[in-house]
Amino acid sequence: SAVISQKPSRDICQRGTSLTIQCQVDSQVTMMFWYRQQPGQSLTLIATANQGSEATYESGFVIDKFPISRPNLTFSTLTVSNMSPEDSSIYLCSVINRAGTDTQYFGPGTRLTVL
Amino acid sequence: ELKVEQNPLFLSMQEGKNYTIYCNYSTTSDRLYWYRQDPGKSLESLFVLLSNGAVKQEGRLMASLDTKARLSTLHITAAVHDLSATYFCAAYAGSYQLTFGKGTKLSVIP
């Protein structure tokens, strides 16, 4: 499986500001995704990060609020814009390495608290 | 739209006992995944079930898939404290996307 790192691991931010989360993989991967996990809840897919093109967003998530970049096959960023306390969550990136089972492997997550 | 339901959501069990977690999904899906999440940690892949009747076992955990019933089970045998965690099932929704259940928080008590 791929080794995935995320930065920052946690942050406390003020309302109205933006935070960019980085996801770095130690090898080239086919697919990268961003999920949100609100406290005590399950995971919700935000978007699929597409290399060299605009991300594909799920219902309820928009590019203006969650701009995503994926400049190459090992790196992606998610920005949480104009934050409010409702954005307090864990944000996880995941990857698929097309190993046959298409298992998604998850990064360690970024714990975001918005005051 | 694919929906995934897990039950129970909370499970407190004694060491040495057996129990089963159920995962139902609403529409056809040909793959089912089980993950484990420890408090404050990310998700760890446990099992990938790729076909009807698939059964996989690792230690005290055994997962199975019945695609006709749209049901997967995670069976715990002779539970030990180290198995305390939250377990998620996720059904394949197409386009490499997964739909997750709400998770089952398992506490194994002495």
* Chain segment A71-96, per-residue pLDDT in tens: 999 999 999 999 999 999 999 999 99
Superfamily the domain B4-103 falls into: Immunoglobulins (2.60.40.10)
Q: How many domains does chain A have?
A: 1
B-side interface with A, Cβ within 8 Å?
31, 33, 35, 41-43, 45, 48, 50, 88, 90, 92, 95-103
The range of the structural domain enclosing residue A14 comes to: 4-114
Mutate to test the interface with B, among A1, A61, A104 (most CBs of B within 10 A): A104
Contacts of A99 (CB under 8 A, 6+ apart): none
How far does A40 lie from chain B, in Å, by closest CA? 9
In this structure, the dihedral spanned by the alpha carbons of residues A100, A102, A107 and A108, taken in order and rounded to 10 degrees, is -90
| Residue of B14 and B52 predicted with greater confidence | B14
Let me know: does B52 contact B68? Beta carbons within 8 Å. yes
Is residue A41 scored above 90 in pLDDT? Answer: no
pLDDT digits (tens, 9 = 90+) for B41-90: 889 999 999 888 899 999 999 999 999 999 999 999 999 999 999 999 99
Q: Which of B42, B45, B95 sits opposite A109 (nearest CB)?
A: B42
Is residue A53 scored above 90 in pLDDT? Answer: no
- Give me the CATH number covering residue A89: 2.60.40.10
